[in-house]
Amino acid sequence: MRKTGLFSLVAIGVLCLSACGGGAATPPTSGASTSAPAGTASQPAVAGQADWDSIVAAAKKEGKVAMFGAQGADRQASLTEPFTKKYGISVDYLPSGGPEVTPRVQSERGASKYLWDLFVIGTSTGILGLRPLGAVDPIEPDLILPEVKDVNNWRGGKLPFVDKDNTGLAILRQSGQYFYINTKLAKVEDFTSWRNLLDPKWAGKLLIGRDPLLAGYGRAMFDFFYMQPQLGPDFIRDLLKQNPVMFRDDAAAAKALVDGLYPMCFCSDIEVGRMMSNGLPVDQVDPRKMKEGTHATSAYANVFPANKAPHPNAAKVYINWLLSQEGGASFSKAAGVPSLRTDVSTEGIDPRLIPDPSWPVTNLEDGLALETDKVLPLLHQLLDNK
């Protein structure tokens, strides 16, 4: 039976998902070097020094930047404190999961309220939600620092735009792996292929923390299943015949997993990661051990500039800081996710989160189009009457 919990504001942005214009970039390696950050606010390494100084001065007069951002206290701190320390510009930061962003911005703009300067969100929210509202502008004109514009500083030798309009740009990319087990009820070695989930003994025992009819990691997993030639739509049909239980609450799903109500879960990496670090009986199934692999995604780590930003100069300064080596390293370390910059080290990153270059990137614009045209209609067909 399909069950849903109360919708929570404690979601990842994910999934799925989930972001580099034109194709998958070469994944980071543990030997990636780390260069010194860009220059200081008063002496950045930038052509057109007077122009940059003028933008920074105007940004300081505006005094703040307002943004939606990734959830989690460490992520929020990494995206606010170093920037404020460097530039003396405060950050009004609203941590939020993807499903809440578009309705809120649509309501605000319907009332002629333009409150946000930028969004660090998932591509589904940016491309399918905010872009049709006219709430975001192309990011390319805001890229000013040479170290940000230099394609040699980005994996794959190109700026990682997430859509054909160059509206958003990916910052981090990870393996799309949200499959966790309760170690008292299952073993990681039980799973070497996604087809292991079709074993009759697991019927009714898979929990999906984010209903795949909602944007996020739950749907991203089904995007991957659809894209993977060894799986495809028939696998999705067979998996849903196993009657997985679906929540709409990331925290409740993670708690149900750790409490032993279910032996396995497609769950929020933020919620379960915190439990793993506290020594609770949960573990992640290594996607590298799965026959079919998994997907790559920038999840919540994409930046989109807001249209009609109330603090346009502060927004430009922030975007360039975030996409610099300094900002990228701060975000990557806090998130525990590989950066798409070549000069941000992957030392200390869980190897399971470093994507294989052969895995599809599901949250680019083409992947989202496949999701809209093929995956979602199939999911509605299979789930709407359950």
Neighbouring residues of 69: CB distance < 8 A, sequence distance ≥ 6: 75, 76, 79, 93, 94, 95, 96, 119, 120
Domain count, the chain: 2
Q: What is the mean pLDDT of each run of 10 residues along the chain (386 residues)?
A: 39 33 36 37 54 96 97 95 98 89 96 98 93 97 96 95 97 92 95 97 96 88 95 98 94 94 92 83 92 94 97 98 98 95 95 90 94 96 87
CB burial string 131-149: b at 16+ within 10 A, e below: beeebbbbbeebbbbebbb
Domain assignment present for residue 26? The answer is: no
User: Two tokens at 103?
Assistant: 């309705």
Domain assignment present for residue 208? The answer is: yes
The span from the CA of 29 to the CA of 251, in Å, is: 32
Specify the pLDDT at position 385.
79
Residues 130 and 232 grouped into a single domain? no
Place of tokens 């590298």: 288
Residues 267 and 344 grouped into a single domain? no
> Can you give the CATH number for the domain in which 218 is found?
3.40.190.10
CB burial string 223-243: b at 16+ within 10 A, e below: bbbbbbeebeeebbeebbeee
Instruction: Answer whether 40's CB lies under 8 Å from 146's CB.
Output: no
The span from the CA of 83 to the CA of 322, in Å, is: 8
Residues 223 and 194 grouped into a single domain? yes
Residues 303 and 337 grouped into a single domain? yes
Instruction: Answer whether 258's CB lies under 8 Å from 280's CB.
Output: yes
Residues 216 and 148 grouped into a single domain? no
Specify the pLDDT at position 98.
74
Specify the pLDDT at position 29.
35
Residues 56 and 167 grouped into a single domain? yes
Residues 198 and 290 grouped into a single domain? yes
Residues 249 and 129 grouped into a single domain? no
Domain assignment present for residue 224? The answer is: yes
The domain containing residue 212 runs over which residues?
177-295+371-383
Specify the pLDDT at position 268.
86
The span from the CA of 360 to the CA of 231, in Å, is: 13
Give this prediction's pTM: 0.77
- Summarize the chain as % helix, strand, coil (round to 5): 40, 15, 45
Domain assignment present for residue 39? The answer is: no
Domain assignment present for residue 217? The answer is: yes
Domain assignment present for residue 20? The answer is: no
CB burial string 48-83: b at 16+ within 10 A, e below: eeeebeebbeebbebebbbbbbbbbeebbebbbebb
Specify the pLDDT at position 97.
76
Specify the pLDDT at position 5.
40
Beta-bridge mates of residue 161 = 169
Instruction: Answer whether 158's CB lies under 8 Å from 21's CB.
Output: yes
The span from the CA of 121 to the CA of 130, in Å, is: 10
Residues 208 and 348 grouped into a single domain? no
The span from the CA of 24 to the CA of 265, in Å, is: 27
Domain assignment present for residue 42? The answer is: no
Domain assignment present for residue 148? The answer is: yes
Taking alpha carbons only, the member of 286, 296, 275, 276 closest to residue 361 is 296
Residues 376 and 342 grouped into a single domain? no
Residues 143 and 97 grouped into a single domain? yes
Residues 168 and 307 grouped into a single domain? yes
The span from the CA of 79 to the CA of 220, in Å, is: 25
- Order across the sheet with 90-95: list the strands: 90-95, 64-69, 118-121, 302-305, 169-170
SS3 assignment, position 170? strand
Taking alpha carbons only, the member of 331, 344, 347 closest to residue 81 is 331
